[in-house]
Amino acid sequence: MSSFAKLAKRAVETEAPVMVKMQKLLGGLKDVMSLAQGIVYWQPPEEALNKVKEIVWEPSTSKYGSDDGLPELREALLEKLHRENKLTKSSVMVTAGANQAFVNLVLTLCDAGDSVVMFAPYYFNAYMSFQMTGVTDILVGACNSTTLHPDVDWLEKVLKGNGPIPKLVTVVNPGNPSGAFIPKPMLQRISDLCRNAGSWLVVDNTYEYFMYDGMEHYCLEDAHIVNIFSFSKAYGMMGWRVGYIAYPSEVNGFHAQLLKVQDNIPICASIIGQRLALHALEAGPEWIRERVKDLVKNRELLVEAMSPLGEDAVRGGEGAIYLWAKLPDTCSDDFEAVSWLASKHGVAVIPGSACGSPGFIRISFGGLKEADTRLAAERLRRGLQELVTDGMVQ
Ligand SMILES: Cc1ncc(COP(=O)(O)O)c(C=O)c1O
Rg (CA), the chain: 21
98 lines ligand 1 (CB under 6 A): yes
Beta strand spans in the chain (E): 33-34, 90-95, 115-119, 137-141, 168-172, 200-204, 225-230, 243-248, 314-316, 322-326, 347-348, 350-351, 360-364
Q: What mean pLDDT comes out for the span 212-241?
A: 98
Average pLDDT value for residue range 110-131: 97
- Read off the pLDDT of each residue in 261-266 and give the average, rounded to a whole number: 98
- For ligand 1, say whether the CB of 127 is within 6 Å of any of its atoms: no
Q: Is the pLDDT of residue 5 over 80?
A: no
Give the mean pLDDT of the chain. Answer: 96
Ligand 1 pocket: which of 232, 235, 245, 363 to mutate (most atoms <8 Å of CB)?
A: 232
Residue 144 has pLDDT above 90, yes or no: yes
Q: What is the pLDDT of residue 41?
A: 98
Centre of ligand 1 from the C-alpha of residue 194, in Å: 24
Ligand 1 contact, 232 CB (< 6 A): yes
- Domains annotated for the chain, with CATH where assigned, are 9-43+285-388 (3.90.1150.10), 63-284 (3.40.640.10)
pLDDT in tens, 241-256: 999 999 999 999 999 9
Per-residue model confidence (pLDDT) at position 243: 98
Strands 115-119 and 168-172: what pairing? parallel
Confidence of residue 369 (pLDDT cuts 50, 70, 90): very high
Q: Under DSSP, is residue 152 helix (H, G, I), strand (E, B) or coil?
A: helix
> How do strand 243-248 and strand 90-95 relate by DSSP bridges?
antiparallel
Whether 204 lines ligand 1, by a CB cut-off of 6 Å, is yes
Q: What is the per-residue pLDDT across 203-215, written as a single tens digit (0 to 9) for each?
A: 999 999 999 999 9
pLDDT value, residue 22: 85
Q: Is the CB of 170 under 6 A from ligand 1?
A: no
Q: Give the Å distance between the CA of 147 and the centre of ligand 1.
A: 22
Q: Is the CB of 38 under 6 A from ligand 1?
A: yes
Residue nearest to atom 7 of ligand 1 (CA): 98
pLDDT at 74 over 90: yes
Q: How confident is the model at residue 317 (pLDDT cuts 50, 70, 90)?
A: very high
Reported as a pLDDT band with limits 50, 70 and 90, residue 1 is low
Q: Residue 104 is inside which H or E element, if any?
A: helix 98-109
Average confidence (pLDDT) over 104-108: 98
Q: What is the pLDDT of residue 21?
A: 85
What CA–CA distance (Å, rounded) separates 139 from 158? 9
Nearest to 168 by CA among 116, 121, 210: 116
Q: Tens of pLDDT along 151-200?
A: 999 999 999 999 899 999 999 999 999 999 999 999 999 999 999 999 99
User: 347, 341 in Cβ contact below 8 A?
Assistant: yes
Q: Closest ligand 1 atom, CA of 39?
A: 14
- At position 286, the amino acid (one-letter code) is E
Q: Closest Cα to residue 284, out of 234, 213, 229?
A: 234
**Distance from residue 98's CA to the centre of ligand 1 (Å):** 5
pLDDT confidence band for 3 (50 / 70 / 90): low
229: left (phi over 0), alpha (psi -120 to 50) or beta: beta
- Among the ranges given (12-26, 105-119, 333-347), the one the predictor scored with the smallest mean pLDDT: 12-26
pLDDT of amino acid 27:
87
Of the given ranges (22-26, 91-95, 96-100, 320-324), which has the lowest mean pLDDT? Answer: 22-26
pLDDT level of residue 75 (50, 70, 90 thresholds):
very high
How would you classify the pairing of strands 314-316 and 350-351? unpaired
User: Which pLDDT does position 19 carry in this prediction?
Assistant: 85
Can you give the pLDDT at residue 374? 98
Smallest CA-to-CA distance from 379 within 341, 331, 327 is with 341
Nearest CA to ligand 1 atom 16: 176
Cβ contacts of 237 within 8 Å, gap of 6 or more: 44, 231, 273, 276, 277, 280
Q: What is the pLDDT of residue 2?
A: 60
In this prediction, residue 28 carries a pLDDT of 84
